Amino acid sequence: MGFGCNACGVTGCRIIDSPRERLIAILTNSFVPCNGRYPILISIAGIFIASRFSGIGSSIISTISVVLVILLGIVLSLIVSKVLSKTVLKGMPSSMVFELPPYRRPQFGKILVRSVLDRTLFVLGRAIAVAAPAGLVIWLFANIGINDVSLLTYVANFLNPFAKLLGLDGYILTAFIFGIPANEIVLPIILMCYLGGNSLSNISDTFEIGNILKSNGWNLLTALNMMIFTVLHFPCTTTLLTIKKETGKWKWVLLGFALPTICGIVICMGTTLIYNIII
């Protein structure tokens, strides 16, 4: 379920009987990309990887690159799950028994109503509660400036030295931070920053997006680390609030925030180091 929405994936962990294993599943759910991350992965792969090849090979290589990044997240989720089960969430694995229930006629109306009330409206309500104030914060940072320089630019310049270690830049890292309400707005924030605008950019032409990114210093390393960090970074606010709702403790929210982010930082630093040595 996390491939559709990480918040729904967290609520879906309710089916796991063991509290320990349910918590492990909740904490590692965000290692797989939700629907909000796929447009970024596909766009970046198409612009910077597919363009290096011609014919049908370009589409195949682009698709393979997206699949490999997703597989990286899946493999890391398994590794982190194993580490958690041996450390902070140590315990005996529970047995899994499938018992076939007696056959009953499906009650579609009841299933639909309970699904809407228990999951859809809950997640949607939290998304709206977070998106509205977050949009206001982004607008304020983009429109309020000091000496004709926006607060968004000041934040990006502050983060730029650390972002360079990840093979990114300050604006990209700023976009991920301000895009915590929803992954869908990360790329629009990046474009807004590069274009010097004061509202989110809605550009649908991939060729135009590519020209903007390349003119602002993007290369193959930037694209690769952007894809990696898109999969391996902190969950959106709705997912974090859902973790709090399901676990009842902020320490698990912080751990759910830190685990994918630390993995993303370490791997991006590694790819940057290898790229600089080779190139």
Residuewise pLDDT in 10s, the chain (279 residues): 889 889 889 988 988 888 899 999 999 999 999 888 998 999 999 899 888 777 777 888 899 999 999 999 999 999 999 999 988 887 766 655 666 777 777 677 766 666 666 666 665 665 566 566 766 777 788 888 788 788 888 999 999 999 999 999 999 999 999 988 888 888 888 988 888 877 776 777 788 889 999 999 999 999 999 999 999 999 998 899 899 999 999 999 999 999 999 999 999 999 999 999 987
Residue 1 burial (10 A CB sphere; 0-12, 13-18, 19+): middle
Position 75 scores a pLDDT of: 96
Residue 69 burial (10 A CB sphere; 0-12, 13-18, 19+): buried
For the whole prediction, is pTM greater than 0.75? yes
Q: How far apart are CA 21 and CA 96, in angstroms?
A: 12
Encoded tokens for 242:
């859902």
Position 129 scores a pLDDT of: 63
Domain boundaries, the chain: 6-91+108-278
With beta carbons less than 8 A apart as the criterion, state whether 29 and 21 touch. Answer: no
With beta carbons less than 8 A apart as the criterion, state whether 215 and 228 touch. Answer: no
Position 206 scores a pLDDT of: 83
The residue behind tokens 């639909």 is: 112
b/e map of 30-47 (b: 16 or more CB within 10 Å)?
Answer: bbbbbebbbebbbbbbbb
Q: How far apart are CA 125 and CA 130, in angstroms?
A: 9
Position 1 scores a pLDDT of: 86
Supply the DSSP string of 132-164, one letter for each residue. Answer: HHHHHHHHHHHH-EETTEEHHHHHHHHHHHHHH
